[in-house]
């Protein structure tokens, strides 16, 4: 026992712990892993910032294209729906209200199921489904509006959710005069026939609307405004300096500047993101689409 105790006292056994070298190796490995994780996080954050701005630029394109395309698809080829054509703007008769003729008399028509805003402004017009051997949409100007009974009959055949009295301005049109052989020898001005406006036909109201680019907050935006009005409605943006371009095509596929010849419109939108990425860059994107007006030749459109 005495020998064993002395041996234990003289033991040079190693105490538990880490050496300086081991600690340095562990710290180096930990720092390498941490730097790697930080690099991945930094790259992912930059990627997400780019994706955010790209999504913003693409949303601008989708919103702008949808707004213009919807209005253009309501326009008919070969009439006066378009006006004042330029490569960055045009004026369009934009649908703004609707109703159904439910009664009529000498003072006008009473509309039922009225939605939207009818206006008696000189630049506004209505489109009426004209009942004839070949039904067609005919245009008239709004002359007066009022409560049923003051304009048009007081009562409708069928009650609707909303009613409106409306008097139409009957346009004067040229009617050819032909001889016995069917050859046109002259023409005369006569009021447009209104007997085809029957009970139950729909009436659509339009307003002249200018589409183009306007500046707001130092950036360019796609906007629209009622023609001759100073107030712009911002639709979407921002757009690049060359952010909007229109091309107009006739029935034979060639470009035209004559509104009555237009059967299709090609729209080019170039957007940029409202914000910036972590690299202080704006993202940009481009969308091109062709919109065919109603009633155009399917061989061309």
Number of structural domains found in the chain: 2
User: Which residue, of 206, 233, 255, is where some domain finishes?
Assistant: 206
More confident residue, 297 or 27: 27
| pLDDT level of residue 245 (50, 70, 90 thresholds) | very high
Q: Are residues 78 and 215 in the same domain?
A: yes
151-192 pLDDT, tens digit each: 999 888 776 678 888 988 887 766 666 666 666 656 666 677
- As a whole number of angstroms, the distance between CA 116 and CA 102 comes to 17
User: Which residue, of 171, 206, 241, is where some domain finishes?
Assistant: 206
Q: Are residues 153 and 108 in the same domain?
A: yes
Share of the chain above pLDDT 90, in %: 16
Q: Are residues 201 and 59 in the same domain?
A: no
3-class DSSP string for 131-188: CCCCCEEEEEEEEEEECCCCCCCCCCCCCCCCEEEEEEECCEEEEEEECCCCCEEEEE
More confident residue, 175 or 271: 271
User: Which residue, of 180, 206, 232, is where some domain finishes?
Assistant: 206
What is the span of the domain harbouring residue 170?
Answer: 91-206
Query: CA 159, 196, 199: angle at the middle one, nearest 5?
Result: 10
The residue assigned the tokens 């062709």 is: 290
User: Structure pTM?
Assistant: 0.65
What average pLDDT does the structure give for the chain? 80
**Is 79 among the domain residues?**
yes
**Is 257 among the domain residues?**
yes
**Is 297 among the domain residues?**
no
Q: Are residues 233 and 194 in the same domain?
A: no
């Amino acid at each position: 026992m005495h020998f064993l105790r002395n041996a234990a006292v003289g033991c040079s056994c190693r105490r538990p712990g880490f050496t300086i070298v081991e600690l340095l190796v562990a710290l180096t490995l930990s720092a390498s892993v941490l730097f790697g994780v930080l690099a991945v996080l930094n790259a992912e954050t930059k990627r997400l910032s780019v994706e955010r701005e790209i999504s913003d630029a693409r949303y601008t394109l989708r919103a702008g294209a949808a707004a213009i395309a919807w209005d253009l698809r309501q326009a008919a080829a070969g009439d006066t729906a378009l006006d004042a054509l330029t490569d960055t703007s045009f004026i369009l008769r934009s649908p703004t209200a609707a109703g159904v003729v439910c009664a009529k008399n000498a003072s006008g028509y009473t509309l039922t199921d009225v939605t939207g805003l009818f206006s008696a402004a000189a630049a506004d017009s209505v489109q009426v489904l004209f009942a004839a051997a070949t039904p067609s949409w005919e245009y008239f100007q709004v002359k007066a509006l009022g409560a049923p009974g003051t304009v048009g009959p007081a009562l409708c055949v069928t009650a609707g959710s909303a009613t409106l009295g409306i008097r139409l301005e009957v346009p004067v049109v040229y009617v050819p005069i032909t001889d016995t052989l069917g050859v046109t020898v002259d023409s005369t001005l006569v009021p447009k026939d209104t007997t085809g406006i029957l009970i139950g036909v729909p009436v659509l109201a339009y307003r002249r609307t200018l589409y183009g680019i306007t500046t707001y907050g130092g950036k360019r935006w796609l906007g629209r405004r009622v023609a001759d009005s100073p107030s712009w409605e911002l639709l979407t943006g921002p757009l690049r300096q060359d952010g909007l371009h229109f091309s107009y095509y006739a029935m034979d596929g060639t470009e035209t500047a004559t509104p009555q010849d237009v059967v299709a419109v090609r729209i080019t939108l170039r957007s940029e993101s409202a914000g910036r990425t972590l690299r202080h860059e704006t993202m940009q994107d481009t969308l091109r689409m062709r919109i065919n007006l109603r009633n155009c030749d399917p061989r061309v459109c």
